Amino acid sequence: MFRELRASLTLFVLFVFVTGLGYPMAALYLGQALFPHQANGSLIQEKGKIIGSTLIGQNFTGNGYFHPRPSAAGNGYDAANSSGSNLGPTSADLIKAVGDRVADLKKAGGAVAIPVDLVTSSASGLDPNISPAAARFQAARIAEARKMDVAKVSDLVARNTEPRTLGFLGENHVNVLELNRALDSLAPPLTQSSP
C-alpha cells in the first residue's frame, strides 16, 4: 500500500509538472513565437484602440451596418460568457422568438425567403459570420441608410465572402465585422445610424 501510494504520488506530481506546466508553456511559447497575432486572440486595433477580434462576433444595431445573428451569450455578444439559446426545436419560446424576428425582417425586407441563420441564434452566441444570403438580404436597407447604390453594397458582400476552405471544407460565409469595416472605408460611417 505504501509503495503504491509513493509510486502514485511521485508520478502524479511529475505529470502535473510535465503536462500541466511544461506542455502548456511549450505550446504557449511556440504559439507566441510562430503566430503571435492568433495566439493573442486575433485582435483588431484602430488608432491604438482595440475594437474587437476578427474571430469574435460583435453586435451591430444601426441601420447602416450589417447585423449579425441573434446571440444568446449574456445580453448578446458577451465574449466573456459564451452560450447558445439551448431552446428545443418545439419550444414555445423559440418559436415565438423566431416568429418575432421574421416579422421584423418581413416589415423591412419584403417577400424574399428569409435566410435561416439571420433569425436563429448561434451555438456560441459569438458567431462572427453570416451566410452570403443573410448579407444580401440586408443590402437594400444598408444602401438606403447610407444613400448608396444597392449594387455597390452587393458587390462589397461578394468581395467579402470567404469561400469554403480548399474549395470544399465548411460553408461560404461573410465575416460581419470585416464587412462593416469595409463598408465604413467605402462610405464614411454615418453620424446618425440609429436603428
Partner 1 sequence: MNLNALLQFTAFIAVTILLMLPLGAYMARVFSGEATWPGKILDPVEGFIYRMAGLRAAAQQSWTEYAGALLIFNFLGAGILFLLLMYQEMMPWNPQHLPGLSVDLAFNVAVSFMTNTDWQSYGGETTLSYFSQMLGLTVQNFLAAATGLAVAVAVIRGFTQREKRGIGNFYVDVTRAVFYVLLPLALLFAVFLVWQGVPDNMQPYVQATTIEGASQTIAQGPVASQIAIKMLGSNGGGYFNANAAHPYENPTPLSNFFQLISLVLLAAALVMAFGKMVGDKRQAWALLASMTILFLILFALCYYSEANGNPAFTAMGIDPNITDVNSGGNMEGKEVRFGIFNSALWATLTSATSNGSVNAMHDSFTPLGGLVPLFNMLVGEVIYGGVGCGLYGILIYVLITVFIAGLMVGRTPEYLGKKIEAHEIKLAVLAQLLYPVCVLGFGVVALLSPAGATSITAAGPHGLTQAIYAYASAAANNGSAFAGFNGNTVFQNIMLGIVMLIGRFGVIIPVLAIAGSLSAKKITPVSNGTLPTHGLMFVVLLTAVIVMFGGLTYFPALALGPIAEHLSTFSGVLP
Residue 185 lies near partner 1 (rule: CB under 8 A): no
How many residues bind to partner 1 according to rule CB under 8 A?
Answer: 108
Minimum separation from the CB atom of position 108 to partner 1 (A): 14
Are 185 and 179 in contact by the 8 Å Cβ rule? The answer is no
Minimum separation from the CB atom of position 180 to partner 1 (A): 6
Residue 154 lies near partner 1 (rule: CB under 8 A): no
Q: How many CA atoms lie within 13 A of 89 on its CB side?
A: 0
Residue 159 lies near partner 1 (rule: CB under 8 A): no
**88, 90, 91, 92 alpha-carbon torsion, rounded to 10°:** 160
Are 128 and 41 in contact by the 8 Å Cβ rule? The answer is no
| Parallel/antiparallel/unpaired status of strands 49-53 and 43-46 | antiparallel
Residue 7 lies near partner 1 (rule: CB under 8 A): yes
Bridge partner residues of 161 (DSSP):
174
- Considering only 57, 63, 138, 143, the residue that binds partner 1 (CB under 8 A) is 57
Nearer to partner 1, 133 or 187 (CB): 133
Q: Which of residues 88-117 bind partner 1 (CB under 8 A)?
A: 88-92, 94-95, 98-99, 102, 106, 113-117
Minimum separation from the CB atom of position 165 to partner 1 (A): 4
Are 121 and 77 in contact by the 8 Å Cβ rule? The answer is no
